[in-house]
Structure 1
Amino acid sequence: MPDRLPADAVWLGLDLGTQSARCVAVDSTGQVLAAASRPLTSHRDGKRHEQDPEQWWSALAEACREALVGIDPARVKGLALDGTSGTILLADADGTPLTRGLMYDDGRAADQAVRANQAGEAVWQDLGYRSMQPSWALPKLLWLLDNEPAAAGTGVRLLHQTDLVTWRLAGHQVASDASHALKTGYHLIEERWPEKEMAELGVPAALLPDVVRPGSVIGTVCAEAAEATGIPAGTAIVAGMTDGCAAQIGAGALTPGAWNSVLGTTLVFKGMSPHLVRDPGGVVYCHRGPGESWLPGGASSSGAGVISREFAGADLDELTVLASESDSDAVAYPLVSTGGERFPFRAPDAEPFVLGTPADEAERFHAYLLGVACVERLCFDYLDLLGAPVDGPLTLTGGGARNRYWSRLRADVMGRPVRLPEQAEGAIGMAVLAATSSGASVQDAAAAMVRIGEEIQPDPARTARWTPVYLAFLDELVRRGWLDNAVAAHAKQRAAR
């Protein structure tokens, strides 16, 4: 254990996901001392997806109070918070929400995305992602400025999802982190807001928060927040990261070529590269990593959310057992969002489909498990095409990683070993990041606190079994006009090696 990581300290990792708010208390060896969560509710209407921002605070406060019961307050030294990437709202000068929270996959801002890409083209190209998608924060901010009467008031602030909570924790507005600010157009290379482009888009400079690098101490917990949450007053508040980056830290995927695949409601990829990865297709973007490294990744609109949608009320354990015995070639495109696909290709008009004819519910269930694995393999093929290092260790996190058969299927389809951390969640990553307030590097904190529970080796025979299914899946994506022929050709070349 690094000398600068106090042995008796407790670090809090706070996580705002799509469906729940969570708090974990972790010691400096990685032992989880306590954890608690509270549900969050969403409202979807076509391409719109919203949450009540006040629920973020109330749910997280309740989770913290439960998790901290029985823990000596003197041991609690720091906390960090993650949220969903691209989720924003407008608030007044006191931090009171003026709008609903526009969620990470809200796709209403298509017209505003065109404007953002025209004004910021040179900056977005310099940063590697080339263009913004309608679900990104800046287009949605423009939509709010165009459509919300409250946006015309004085003292209005843009807040990312986590900014509302850190404001409440500190008792005043504190800096946002560069990870959440990425999709709002923050210039990660020059570490500033692009003033000329924002002015051209009509975004007032006073609307935008100050920004610091993740891991910076941005404040301490105030007395009022301590009363609401049970977190001791004076606890250090550390600037966090988006949920995908949080899971990456929690998985210890912090060496060049290492990747973490987060299978939650949607599939999120995060890796580490010694260089900035630029994507002509605009679906891969890079966060700033520790030191001079970069964290390339992408967020899909496909993922495990299809399971709750398609198999509501079903016994998933029983379906898994039956699916594991299936010999069906059926594969389903596991699209969750109604706003189309975001990664590993961009297709606003994408819709779910099933190739083949499942004979029963177990085979239909297996088709969705297999579809996620095929999307995951395509992610790596696309990243390799861009020149991102992809041959390091791969960890699987998120709720989907708790299904061992699914994890084995993913390893077989991709043909590569996968590691399963003992605690597969972003909140652990935030506890690790909170520990850097002691002076330890994030790599040293992760080395001390991240525990790998199991490694699954792929079965070459099963990889060969599923490869033709994967190639047929690619052909169908191309036939529908969603996947570029060049990407499919590169994937097929890799499969033939």
Structure 2
Amino acid sequence: MSLTLGIDLGTSACRVALLDEQGHCQALARASLPAPLTSPTGIEQNPLVWWQACEKALREVFINVPASEVAAIAIDGTSSTLLLSTRQGQPLGPALMYNDSRAREQAASLAKIAPLEAAVHSPSSSLAKLLWLLEHAPPDTPFVALHQADWLLGRLGGRYDRSDENNALKLGYDPLQRQWPTWLEQLTLSTGDPISACLPTVVPAGSPLGPVDPAIAREFGLRSDCQLIAGTTDSTASFLAAGAHAIGEAVTTLGSTLVVKVLSDRPVFAPQYGVYSHRLGEQWLIGGASNSGGTVLRHFFSDAEITELSRHIDPAADCPLDYYPLLTRGERFPVNDPDMAGCLEPRPDDDAAFLHGLFDGIAAIEARGYRRLHELGAPWPVSVRTVGGGAGNAVWEKIRARHLSVTMLKADFAEAACGSARLARAGLEKIR
């Protein structure tokens, strides 16, 4: 049997999945991660805990499935989580997590040189974080800037100089020209070298990179020709796991926030709405994320209460409540307004009616999000698959289907690790 292994490094755990040649999941394993450290400065994590969790998850998954059956491995990680590492893989400090936004001044300086469509203008972008680190914690040894998935790839392959086009996007990489852009030459290191001296080599997601490091193969019992495949970001891996693969197919993530993504034959870049395009071969994955979502639901109800109250909601009935479910001021997509106030009133005495209003309000935002993507040049969805904590609520899905008027399909897998395993299979087929 030829298996492919996907590793998903998320915010709370490292998950691994093994898929066979027919795409069936043969095994899953999970190892918890400690919470990132939050301080007045920002949000950080020691990269060594990533490898510890990865080791634990790999050993667990290989209890019942022989490691010798794994033919290829791909990794996904949280987008924009960045660290500085020596060329030998030693972290030169904690990683700045994806939601660390300390680099406000650096983002402002990037606005003066980076094109509007570049995915670097947010304080949480990888490039803004890199500039912050160079200013506040400049290394005194040769180093490379790596994302979470890049560094873990290095642990498995013995090389710490590679990234993929999806992770590199927010470090300034140009996916249209498939190279580091010339405007980056305006940025320099303390040595006077251009900033490109510390940037990794970038390859398309799904590219074969060669075999795992011999020491890693011996440690886990992997075969010596087990191939490493260039990975992707966690959200892109979730899209691949869901099973969407044709132009116009879309995936909605109903997690703590609401994320909509659709496959297109051309890219869309609209940073004013936080809309960027990840390259997947010759296709483009276009997406945007609202501040609304599951966090609002769980502010008012537990998961058990949501399940029970849903039984008393008629999804075919019109909802008289016109909510825009936000807990705090500010929206980024499909409306970009940092001062926007949500609407959660009036609240009826009946909790089921209130939950109906929340469901309907978030469904309206989802539909408006896909309309926004369509207005910007993306195709209108021909189908929508759903992942995340809200994916299993049949009542909510019917409400969403009324707003979208498109076919709702069941996602193949809910685990992003399965998407990385699929990417590993695609890379393996390029070799064969």
Q: Same fold (TM over 0.5)?
A: yes
Letter in structure 1 aligned against 2:129: K
Aligned partner of 1:23 among 3, 11, 16: 16
Matched residue, 2:231: 240
For 1:274-289, list aligned pairs within 5 A: 274-279=265-270, 281-289=272-280
Letter in structure 1 aligned against 2:397: S
Q: Is the 8 Å Cα contact of residues 329 and 342 (structure 2) preserved in structure 1?
A: no
Aligned partner of 1:70 among 64, 68, 86: 64
Residues 268, 64 of structure 1: CA spacing in aligned structure 2 closer, same or farther, 3 A cutoff? farther
* Inter-partner Cα distance in structure 2 for 1:376 and 1:44: 31
Residues 99, 320 of structure 1: CA spacing in aligned structure 2 closer, same or farther, 3 A cutoff? farther
TM-score (normalizing by structure 1): 0.76
Matched residue, 2:395: 405
* Inter-partner Cα distance in structure 1 for 2:255 and 2:218: 32
Matched residue, 2:212: 221
Provide the identity percentage: 35
In the alignment, structure 1 residue 141 sits paired with structure 2 residue 130? yes
Q: Is the 8 Å Cα contact of residues 144 and 161 (structure 2) preserved in structure 1?
A: no
Matched residue, 1:294: 284
Matched residue, 1:464: none
Residues 301, 280 of structure 1: CA spacing in aligned structure 2 closer, same or farther, 3 A cutoff? closer
* Inter-partner Cα distance in structure 1 for 2:350 and 2:185: 53
Query: How far apart are residue 106 of structure 1 and its match?
Result: 2.5
In the alignment, structure 1 residue 333 sits paired with structure 2 residue 359? no
Count of equivalent residues = 425
Letter in structure 2 aligned against 1:22: R
Matched residue, 1:372: 362
Query: How far apart are residue 319 of structure 1 and its match?
Result: 4.3
Letter in structure 2 aligned against 1:10: L
Query: How far apart are residue 176 of structure 1 and its match?
Result: 0.4
Matched residue, 1:344: 334
Query: How far apart are residue 78 of structure 1 and its match?
Result: 0.6
Residues 350, 139 of structure 1: CA spacing in aligned structure 2 closer, same or farther, 3 A cutoff? farther
In the alignment, structure 1 residue 93 sits paired with structure 2 residue 87? yes
Q: Is the 8 Å Cα contact of residues 229 and 427 (structure 2) preserved in structure 1?
A: yes
Deviation sequence 1:214-236 (CA, Å, 0-9, x none): 11112322244346656555421
Query: How far apart are residue 360 of structure 1 and its match?
Result: 5.6
Q: Is the 8 Å Cα contact of residues 334 and 368 (structure 1) preserved in structure 2?
A: no
SS class of match (2:92):
coil
Q: Is the 8 Å Cα contact of residues 261 and 270 (structure 1) preserved in structure 2?
A: yes
Residues 310, 222 of structure 1: CA spacing in aligned structure 2 closer, same or farther, 3 A cutoff? farther
Matched residue, 1:111: 105
Aligned partner of 1:152 among 130, 139, 145: 139
Matched residue, 2:76: 82
For 1:267-278, list aligned pairs within 5 A: 267-278=258-269
Residues 74, 39 of structure 1: CA spacing in aligned structure 2 closer, same or farther, 3 A cutoff? closer
Matched residue, 2:28: 35
Matched residue, 1:209: 200
Q: Is the 8 Å Cα contact of residues 187 and 193 (structure 1) preserved in structure 2?
A: yes
Query: How far apart are residue 260 of structure 1 and its match?
Result: 1.5
* Inter-partner Cα distance in structure 2 for 1:89 and 1:312: 36
Computed over aligned residues only, the root mean square deviation of the Cα atoms, in angstroms, reads: 3.0
Letter in structure 2 aligned against 1:58: Q
* Inter-partner Cα distance in structure 2 for 1:52 and 1:353: 39
SS class of match (1:143):
helix
SS class of match (2:209):
strand
Residues 152, 342 of structure 1: CA spacing in aligned structure 2 closer, same or farther, 3 A cutoff? farther
More helix by share: 1
Query: How far apart are residue 280 of structure 1 and its match?
Result: 6.6
**Bigger mean CA deviation after superposition, 87-96 or 239-248:** 87-96
Deviation sequence 1:182-212 (CA, Å, 0-9, x none): 0111011222212443433656222211111
Q: Is the 8 Å Cα contact of residues 258 and 393 (structure 1) preserved in structure 2?
A: yes
* Inter-partner Cα distance in structure 1 for 2:313 and 2:92: 47
Matched residue, 1:458: none
TM-score (normalizing by structure 2): 0.87
Residues 216, 382 of structure 1: CA spacing in aligned structure 2 closer, same or farther, 3 A cutoff? same
Residues 152, 97 of structure 1: CA spacing in aligned structure 2 closer, same or farther, 3 A cutoff? closer
Q: Is the 8 Å Cα contact of residues 50 and 102 (structure 1) preserved in structure 2?
A: yes
Query: How far apart are residue 19 of structure 1 and its match?
Result: 2.3
Query: How far apart are residue 316 of structure 1 and its match?
Result: 4.5
Aligned partner of 1:171 among 139, 145, 158: 158
Structure 2, unpaired ranges of 5+? none
* Inter-partner Cα distance in structure 1 for 2:274 and 2:320: 32
Structure 1, unpaired ranges of 5+? 1-7, 442-497
Query: How far apart are residue 345 of structure 1 and its match?
Result: 3.3
Deviation sequence 1:409-428 (CA, Å, 0-9, x none): 32223232211123223222
Deviation sequence 1:4-63 (CA, Å, 0-9, x none): xxxx31111111222221111111112111101122323445794433322222222212
In the alignment, structure 1 residue 419 sits paired with structure 2 residue 412? no
Query: How far apart are residue 160 of structure 1 and its match?
Result: 0.6
For 1:378-457, list aligned pairs within 5 A: 378-439=368-429
